[in-house]
Amino acid sequence: MGLRHKRALCFTDLVQTTHLKIVGDKFNLDVSELPAPFADDFWSMLQKYLLFDEPSSRCTRLKKSIAKQMKSPRAKEIDLSVANQDEQDRLFDAIFGARPNSDTSRLLSVLLGLEEIARFDEITFASWSIEAGPAETNSLRGTDFWKGLDQWFAAANLSAGQIRWLHHCAVASPNWSALKESGPWSGVSIAIFLLQALKQIENQISAETVFDTKTFATAHAHFNKLLKSMRPELPGHFMPNAIVIVEGSTEEVLLPRFGQVLGMNFQAEAIMIVSAGGAKQVAKRYLFLRDLVAIPIVCILDRDAEEQSALIADTIRDCDRLFVLQAGEIEDTFNSKSFARYLNSYLESFPGSVQPVVEGDVPAGASRKAVLARLWKARKLGDFDKIAFAESVAHSLDTASDVPVEFVQILKFLAEVAAENA
């Protein structure tokens, strides 16, 4: 499948739970005459495909990608809102697959699906399967490749919903070979990993004479080995082993740096940080994810989030942890001497000569938020930029003793989680 180039789109949203509802519009059913997607459209679809998201939400996202490609006037019209899951899968395959798609691309999609099965609770696949409806007979199912897949699934002790999900992954498979071309994905670590995984599969499949359980089990083992070896280069949100939900971007910036100076690489340990946007959203996001994911979740809240702390504590799973910053907010967790040093380092980035901060300007026990407002007002520096300050601290912080004690405890738990996944 050739890809056409246009301006790249940027998708920064990592975990969204909003479901798209497409109704009332007519879309194209006959895709035989549709041009191949632009490279940017293909990449934006892949970013939706690779988001860490439960099955129903991901299928809704991909439905939007299908709809965008089916507005050509050159083919018959249908209402995409009434297309069932199997019809949507075939449309996706026809639009974003290789026309026809290769067995190697389909197997890579299945291996990615197995990683999702390892990270989401079985109930998510059961619920999606009910929503998707009974599977229809697929013309692909008569091939030796597909028969081998079915034998492998049957031997893998999977639930009906999980097998239905893997069938979906095999049919609604992107043409992963398109990543071999230059495009907005060039140099992106996830794309590099996927190409390496595809190459492994291509080399193995080309040497096989039969497709049986052993063939696919070997491919899965090689995939896992590659994922483990390339894990330090991949972002934490790609196939995460743990989720950390924080109130804001300050924690999102500083946590990985805290971990780094204590010898923990968040990417290598596949730790995904979700900046929820406030205490209420931390609780809301936790309550949503708690019933969906099979991996540990850590919630970090400021001291004043008492209502949200109680809500999470009352419903927390045994594998999860809630940490409430007893000092107040993240800025309050630093001792006065260190905090003054970080402020002065940050002030060096301001133009002109700015009066430095001394330790006495940051009294112990005082609210750092109030202190910062006073210091910035006195120096006529405008509003204090918490994110820019966090980035400055992350750059300046270089020893384990610089990490606040409360975060040492949080990272200790994350290290235990990482050890269990090793």
Domain contains 141: yes
Q: Residue 46: its pLDDT value, please?
A: 96
Nearest to 116 by CA among 72, 183, 68, 161: 161
Q: Residue 36: its pLDDT value, please?
A: 80
Bridge partners for 325 per DSSP: 302
Asked if 217 and 271 sit in the same domain, the reply is no
Q: Residue 135: its pLDDT value, please?
A: 80
Q: Residue 306: its pLDDT value, please?
A: 96
For residues 180-201, give the mean pLDDT: 96
Q: Residue 3: its pLDDT value, please?
A: 47
CB atoms within 10 A of CB 182: 11
Domain contains 15: no
CB atoms within 10 A of CB 169: 23
Asked if 355 and 267 sit in the same domain, the reply is yes
Give tens-digit pLDDT for 281-303.
999 999 999 999 999 999 999 99
Structural domain that includes position 383: 240-422
Domain contains 20: no
Q: Which amino acid is at 134?
A: P
Is 359's pLDDT higher than 80?
Answer: yes
Domain contains 399: yes
pTM: 0.88
Residue 243 near residue 182, CB atoms below 8 Å = no
Domain contains 214: yes
Report the DSSP pairing between strands 297-302 and 321-325: parallel
Q: pLDDT category, 34, cuts 50, 70, 90?
A: low
Asked if 247 and 223 sit in the same domain, the reply is no
Asked if 253 and 226 sit in the same domain, the reply is no
Asked if 350 and 217 sit in the same domain, the reply is no
For residues 270-278, give the mean pLDDT: 96
Residue indicated by tokens 């965008």: 68
Q: Bigger pLDDT: 31 or 244?
A: 244
The SS3 of residue 408 is helix
Asked if 119 and 217 sit in the same domain, the reply is yes
For residues 213-238, give the mean pLDDT: 96
Nearest to 92 by CA among 126, 122, 59: 59
Half-sphere exposure (Cβ direction) of 406: Cα atoms closer than 13 Å: 19
* Measured distance CA(196)–CA(76) in Å, rounded: 39
Asked if 210 and 252 sit in the same domain, the reply is no
* Measured distance CA(343)–CA(389) in Å, rounded: 8
Domain contains 13: no
Last residue of a domain, one of 231, 255, 272: 231
Which strand ranges, in their side-by-side order, compose the sheet holding 297-302? 271-275, 242-246, 297-302, 321-325
Is 76's pLDDT higher than 80?
Answer: no
Provide the number of structural domains found in the chain: 2
Asked if 92 and 146 sit in the same domain, the reply is yes
Give the best-scoring range by mean pLDDT among 2-6, 72-76, 119-123. Answer: 119-123
Last residue of a domain, one of 231, 256, 275: 231
Q: Which long-range contacts (CB under 8 A, 24 or more apart) does 299-307 make?
A: 299/244, 299/245, 299/323, 300/244, 300/245, 300/246, 300/247, 300/251, 300/324, 300/325, 300/410, 301/247, 301/325, 302/247, 302/328, 302/329, 302/330, 303/327, 303/328, 303/329, 304/279, 304/328, 305/247, 305/279
Asked if 312 and 198 sit in the same domain, the reply is no
For residues 99-114, give the mean pLDDT: 93
Domain contains 393: yes
Lowest mean pLDDT among 5-19, 42-56, 225-239: 5-19
For residues 18-36, give the mean pLDDT: 48
What is the rounded average pLDDT for all residues in the chain? 88
For residues 150-174, give the mean pLDDT: 94
Asked if 90 and 205 sit in the same domain, the reply is yes
CB atoms within 10 A of CB 131: 11
Domain contains 421: yes
The proportion of the chain whose per-residue pLDDT surpasses 70, expressed as a percent, equals: 88
Q: pLDDT category, 7, cuts 50, 70, 90?
A: very low
Asked if 399 and 272 sit in the same domain, the reply is yes
Q: pLDDT category, 6, cuts 50, 70, 90?
A: very low
Tokens of 59: 């299928």
Asked if 223 and 272 sit in the same domain, the reply is no
Last residue of a domain, one of 231, 257, 278: 231
Q: Residue 364: its pLDDT value, please?
A: 83
Is 199's pLDDT higher than 80?
Answer: yes
